[in-house]
Amino acid sequence: MNVVNVMWSGGAPYMSVHKVHRQMLGHVAEGAEITNWLLLGDGLCCGEGAIREWHMPPRTLKGRSFWRWWTPVLRHRLYKALQQTRPDILLLDGMGVARLVLPLMRHFPETRVTVLFHGSTRMRGSDIRLLRAVEPHRLSIAAVSRTLAQALEQALGRSVDTLRVALDPQAFGAALFERDHARRLLAIVQRPGPVFGAVGRLVESKGFEMLIEAFAQVHRQQPDARMVILGDGELRARLNARIQALGLGDSVQLCGYRPDLSQLYRAFDWLLVPSRSEGLGMVLQEAVLADVPVLCSDLPVFREQLGQAGRYLPVGDQAAWARAIGECKTLSVKETAARQRDALDPEQAWQAFSQGSRALLRG
């Protein structure tokens, strides 16, 4: 069996997408040939199989203004590559990739296609028509959470599979660094106070600006508290400037992206997830698997995973976040983490994800 996995881009900002696709492709039938196509290039963070970087112009891919006239040229390049590859299965990363690739499917009637949605997408009328143009028996549409799948079903008027992404709890746990080692790697100086962590791209939707302001309020009452933010992005300079302006330079660390990021969770006493929106929120699962309790925004996708065991806060409510962070000192880290792990039920979640991946990628 020949599988081509087409993703929008490589590089650290897309690491979570790469992780999900790698997890899926790990369940393809033994002996399958897997090739990863990155439309924008920048390298594969993690994955299975060969890699091809296309280095397509971003403006052309997005089809804006006069750049859209280049789309047929890009599509013809893909058509020639598909003719040579003749894939049995195409795995497409969201609607942006699907817009470019799906019109070619009339030339490859034997190829099955799975479009996997990782986050909310504004569906155009042309997108809906495009998805409906491929025969239902050849096209599977899936989303990484039930919350996202339901939203897509409403927009598309057709069924969408829920493939709630999960991690292999044994493999993930075996790779984790212990607390002291993780803290040494992050240069966290040993002090009595708690260490709060946050992980994600430094972009507006992750809510880190609000989080820094909330932490500043907590720090005035708990000067030994520290916060470590792992990840990189367009807001790094602005966040750093605000940290310095608030006098938090010794208490808030921006550590940037690290390839060992997923192994470092035990450096934290609590993980803070102030996202304004999420398709799934892999960092929540990773923290729970590391036995680190989570404070998170009150989003349906987080309630889907943690149920009554979650500690949820209003999106963007700085005062509520400051109160909740300050109150963490009164809670049992161990008991909270245990309740959240029971709610997530990682073993069952991994089994369901494995079965779902095999069903979506069957030849």
- The three-point CA angle 81-23-48 to 5° equals 45
Could you read off the pLDDT of 310-334 as tens digits, one per residue?
A: 999 999 999 999 999 999 999 999 9
Give the pLDDT band (50/70/90) at residue 91: very high
User: Torsion angle of alpha carbons 243, 249, 252, 254, nearest 10°?
Assistant: 80
Residue 126 has pLDDT above 70, yes or no: yes
The mean pLDDT of the chain is 93
pLDDT of residue 58: 80
Rounded to whole angstroms, the Cα distance separating 101 from 126 reads 14
Could you read off the pLDDT of 250-296 as tens digits, one per residue?
A: 999 999 999 999 999 999 999 999 999 998 999 999 999 999 999 99
136: domain CATH number is 3.40.50.2000
Q: Is residue 182 part of a domain?
A: yes
Q: Is the same domain home to 137 and 186?
A: no
Q: Is residue 154 part of a domain?
A: yes
The domain boundary, picked from 163, 180, 210, lies at: 163
pLDDT of residue 140: 96
Nearest to 92 by CA among 41, 32, 24, 30: 24
Give the pLDDT band (50/70/90) at residue 168: very high
Q: Which region among 118-127, 180-189, 321-330 has the lowest average model confidence (pLDDT)? A: 118-127
Q: Is residue 214 part of a domain?
A: yes
Residue 248 has pLDDT above 60, yes or no: yes
Q: Is residue 354 part of a domain?
A: no
Q: Is the same domain home to 105 and 209?
A: no
Could you read off the pLDDT of 53-63 as tens digits, one per residue?
A: 999 888 777 76
Angle between helices 282-289 and 333-344 (to 10 degrees): 120
Q: What is the mean pLDDT of residues 233-252?
A: 96
Q: Is the same domain home to 135 and 221?
A: no
pLDDT of residue 15: 86
pLDDT of residue 99: 93
Give the pLDDT band (50/70/90) at residue 116: very high
List 150's β-bridge partners, or say none. none
Rounded to whole angstroms, the Cα distance separating 246 from 198 reads 18
List 162's β-bridge partners, or say none. 143
Residue 138 has pLDDT above 60, yes or no: yes
pLDDT of residue 215: 98
pLDDT of residue 14: 85
List 117's β-bridge partners, or say none. 143
Sheet containing strand 112-117, strands side by side? 50-53, 33-38, 2-7, 89-93, 112-117, 139-143, 161-162
pLDDT of residue 190: 81
Q: Which region among 14-18, 95-99, 301-305, 319-323 has the lowest average model confidence (pLDDT)? A: 14-18
Q: Is residue 273 part of a domain?
A: yes
Q: What is the mean pLDDT of residues 306-310?
A: 97
| The pair of three-digit structure tokens given for residue 193, joined into one six-digit string | 């106070």
Q: Is residue 352 part of a domain?
A: no
Domain span at residue 61? 2-163
Q: Is the same domain home to 272 and 158?
A: no
Q: Is the same domain home to 84 and 22?
A: yes
pLDDT of residue 167: 94
Residue 66 has pLDDT above 70, yes or no: no
Nearest to 186 by CA among 323, 6, 178: 178
Residue 300 has pLDDT above 90, yes or no: yes
Q: Is the same domain home to 198 and 319?
A: yes
Give the pLDDT band (50/70/90) at residue 351: very high
pLDDT of residue 67: 60
Considering only residues 340 and 16, tell me which one the structure prediction assigns the higher pLDDT: 340
Greatest C-alpha distance within the chain = 65
Give the pLDDT band (50/70/90) at residue 210: very high
Q: Is residue 359 part of a domain?
A: no
Q: Is the same domain home to 300 and 329?
A: yes
Share of the chain above pLDDT 70, in %: 98
Q: Is the same domain home to 132 and 281?
A: no
Q: What is the mean pLDDT of residues 45-55?
A: 89
